[in-house]
């Protein structure tokens, strides 16, 4: 479904406006033991979602130097994807993989079976499409598991409210939770943040972020082929569908948005945006090709975000900050190395260079895991859910502004009743997809100004 007014929205408003998660109140009545790594020295890990990012996260978990970790269970809805992931991890970490045929689980209930292989205090990796994040996180809390989950952790107002509440419950239970916004663990960005907060470039007035690249992930999807169900096709191509991922905007632009908001030390209060589709050939996905978003902070400062996903164009993947006395490069090209630097004035030319992070930058994907495992070992507070939910919500705010043609505030987005997949927790291999193609095999696309939401 596109971000327009849908049949049944009023019913969903009635069900959703309170923003409460019934399951959270149920979980609150369950008392868990103190959560820490079990007395055996090895932390056990289960992988739920065996695509490329999940495989990478599992490899990072197995590469930590703080005592041993072991992968004991895997789950996915695609057997071939699980097999590829298993073979890759077994090749990289042969002595740390104890996943056998009985601990490989295929199907929508596989996440439960994989988590059931763990002990309280072990770690589950949640890297399925974002639509399933709250469902699986809820079960991880019930099991007393520490969690690493990929971003974004929500795609709309209702799922954001669920994650805020579940995050609070995970804090109450002393669970350690990492969210895959790894740029927050980058040492270069961390030093830049400290310098900006100390006033080295003056008050921040403008931030600029660019992810203008070619087709990314499964954002460009052609019509469903024969031999696969509608639901499984959409999950396999989850970047193409708003219900599954928030689209390419939410899944990819969140990093630039998050690192800029980190430097500002604030979240924007509103967004206005523009976007559209151009020549799409045989692609049937729901994404815009271009997005331009103006985020406004409470003090009037701006974040200008440019997103493009088109082949054959000039590319840029970077973020910048402009203050009253100087400017800074937040990231240079992709996520790492960031090569952060500060300039006197706004020109960003070599003879105005005032500071640069000159050391070799450790891999932030590994750093986030090292910190999570250390927190588990030392029983120190570590929970990134609220910040991850805020970043996901602000990202969705900009996307919705572009898709509806309306100015969308932070409160609008947080309280919005529109839910892309209200029954995602009930899906099975035989279920109909939350979104259906039209007679021409194409899916609804956003129509700014024509399809609007009631906030």
211-224 pLDDT tens trace: 999 988 999 999 99
Q: pLDDT, tens digit, for every residue of 104-147? A: 999 999 999 999 999 999 999 999 999 999 999 999 999 999 99
Q: Is position 175 within any domain?
A: yes
Same domain? For 232 and 130 the reply is: no
CA-nearest of 363, 368, 362, 370 to 67 is 370
Whether residue 301 sits in one domain with residue 375: no
Residues 410 and 339 reside in one and the same domain: yes
93 and 133 together in one domain: yes
pLDDT, position 441: 86
Q: 51-60 pLDDT, tens per residue?
A: 999 999 999 9
**Residue 205 maps to a domain:** yes
> What residues make up the domain containing 334?
184-361+395-418
Whether 49 is in a domain gets the answer yes
pLDDT score of 164: 98
Query: Is a pLDDT exceeding 90 seen at residue 26?
Result: no
In the predicted structure, residue 69 carries a pLDDT above the cut 70: yes
**pLDDT number for residue 452:** 72
Largest CA distance in the chain: 63
Residue 30: the pLDDT is: 44
- Whether residue 24 is found in the same domain as residue 158: yes
Q: Is 285 inside a domain boundary?
A: yes
- Residue 439, in any domain of the structure: no
The whole-number pLDDT of residue 279 equals: 83
- The answer to the question of residue 445 being in a domain is no
pLDDT of residue 11: 28
Q: For 78-84, what is the mean pLDDT?
A: 98
Does residue 351 form part of some domain?
Answer: yes
Is 70 exceeded by the pLDDT of residue 381?
A: yes
Tell whether 102 and 164 lie within a shared domain: yes
Average pLDDT over residues 259-265: 98
Query: Where is pLDDT greater, at 359 or 88?
Result: 88
Is residue 155 domain-shared with residue 206, that is, in the same domain? Answer: no
- The verdict on 79 and 217 lying in the same domain is no
Secondary structure of residue 204 in the 3-state scheme: strand
Nearest one of 191, 198, 194 to 325, comparing CA atoms = 198
By C-alpha distance, which of 139, 136, 185 is closest to 30? 139
At residue 1 the predicted structure's pLDDT band, cuts being 50, 70 and 90, is low
**Res 5 pLDDT > 70:** no
Please check whether residues 356 and 246 belong to one and the same domain. Answer: yes
Q: What is the CATH number of the domain that holds 228?
A: 3.30.360.10
**196 shares its domain with 216:** yes
Given this model, what pLDDT does residue 14 score?
31
Average pLDDT over residues 82-86: 98
Tens digits of residue pLDDT in 285-326: 999 999 999 999 999 999 999 999 988 999 999 999 999 999
The number of distinct structural domains making up the chain is 2
Least confident of 33-47, 133-147, 241-255, 284-298: 33-47
Q: How does DSSP classify residue 214?
A: S
DSSP 16-44: HTT---HHHHHHHT---PPPS--SSSPEE
Buried b (16+ CB within 10 A) or exposed e, 298-333: eeebbbebbbbbeeeeeeebbbbbbbeebbbbbbbe
User: Is there a single domain that holds both residue 36 and residue 148?
Assistant: yes
For the residues 96-100, what does the mean pLDDT come to? Answer: 97
- The CATH number of whichever domain residue 65 belongs to comes to 3.40.50.720
User: Quick one: pLDDT at residue 221?
Assistant: 92
Are 374 and 402 contained in the same domain? Answer: no
Q: What is the rounded distance in angstroms from the CA atom of residue 401 to the CA atom of residue 169?
A: 31
Token pair, residue 173, equals: 């239970």
On whether residue 390 sits in a domain, the answer given is: no
């Amino acid at each position: 479904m596109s971000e327009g007014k849908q049949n049944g929205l009023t019913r969903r408003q009635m069900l959703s406006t309170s923003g409460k998660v019934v399951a959270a109140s149920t979980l609150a009545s369950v008392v868990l033991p103190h959560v820490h790594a079990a007395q055996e020295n090895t932390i056990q890990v289960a992988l739920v979602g065996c695509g490329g990012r999940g495989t990478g996260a599992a490899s990072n978990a197995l590469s930590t130097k703080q005592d041993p970790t072991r992968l004991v269970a895997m789950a996915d809805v695609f057997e071939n994807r699980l097999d590829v992931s298993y073979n890759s991890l077994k090749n990289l970490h042969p002595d740390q993989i104890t996943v056998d045929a009985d601990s490989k689980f295929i199907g929508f209930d596989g996440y439960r079976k994989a988590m059931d292989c763990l002990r309280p205090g072990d770690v589950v990796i949640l890297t399925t499409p974002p639509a399933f994040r709250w469902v699986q996180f809820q079960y991880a809390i019930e099991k007393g598991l520490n969690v690493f989950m990929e971003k974004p952790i929500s795609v709309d107002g209702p799922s954001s409210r669920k994650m805020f509440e579940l995050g609070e419950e995970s804090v109450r239970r002393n669970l350690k939770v990492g969210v895959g916004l790894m740029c927050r663990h980058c040492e270069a960005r961390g030093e830049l943040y400290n310098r900006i907060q100390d006033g080295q470039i003056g008050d921040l007035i403008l931030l600029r972020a660019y992810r203008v690249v070619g087709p990314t992930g499964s954002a460009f999807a052609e019509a469903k082929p024969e031999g696969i169900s509608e639901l499984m096709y959409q999950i396999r191509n989850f970047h193409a569908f708003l219900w599954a991922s928030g689209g390419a905007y939410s899944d990819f632009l969140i990093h630039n948005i998050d690192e800029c908001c980190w430097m500002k030390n604030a979240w924007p209060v509103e967004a206005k945006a523009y976007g559209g589709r151009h020549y799409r050939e045989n692609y049937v996905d729901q994404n815009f090709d271009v997005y331009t978003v103006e985020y406004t902070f409470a003090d009037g400062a701006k974040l200008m975000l440019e997103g493009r996903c088109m082949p054959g164009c000039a590319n840029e993947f970077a973020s910048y900050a402009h203050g009253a006395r100087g400017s800074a490069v937040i990231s240079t090209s992709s996520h790492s190395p960031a090569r952060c630097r500060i300039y006197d004035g706004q020109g960003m030319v070599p003879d105005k260079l005032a500071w640069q992070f000159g050391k070799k930058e450790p891999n932030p994907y590994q750093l986030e895991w090292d910190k999570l495992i250390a927190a588990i070992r030392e029983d120190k507070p570590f929970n990134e859910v609220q910040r991850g939910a805020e970043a996901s919500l602000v990202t969705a705010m900009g996307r919705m502004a572009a898709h509806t043609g309306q100015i969308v505030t932070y409160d609008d987005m947080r309280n919005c009743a529109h839910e892309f997949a209200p029954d995602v927790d009930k899906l099975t291999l035989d279920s109909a997809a939350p979104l259906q193609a039209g007679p021409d095999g194409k899916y609804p696309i956003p129509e700014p100004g024509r399809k609007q939401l009631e906030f």
